[in-house]
Amino acid sequence: MTKDAMNRVDISTNQGHPGPPDWTLADAETVSTLFLSLTVPLQRSPKDLRDRVESMLRSHGEPLRWAITSVDTAQQTVQVEAVVTQGRWTS
């Protein structure tokens, strides 16, 4: 994690569910969803900020839904809440 990555991370996950006893290996290749909140440095432009948020979320999974919920102008940071997915879907 880089220096200007998250100051505070709150992560909860639903990973680890056992699944039914007749699961195959392919079935076990499941996706999981993960909620997290993180602090991101303000960037020079809204587009840079969007890209920075998504880049930081990608260190936890694939961004699914996120929003900047508040801005700290003194600290030059934004607070982000997000859900990312982990794992890979194969049909």
Q: Does 35 bind another protein (CB under 8 A)?
A: yes
Q: What is the pattern of x (binds another protein, CB under 8 A) and - over residues 8-27? A: --x-xxx--x-xx------x
Token code pair at residue 71: 């801005």
In Å, how far from its chain's centre is CA 31? 14
Q: List strand residue ranges (DSSP E) for the chain, in order.
A: 10-13, 32-41, 62-72, 77-86
Q: Does 5 bind another protein (CB under 8 A)?
A: no
* Contacting residues toward another protein, per CB under 8 A: 10, 12-14, 17, 19-20, 27, 29-35, 37, 45-47, 49-50, 53-54, 62, 64-71, 73, 78-81, 83, 85, 89, 91
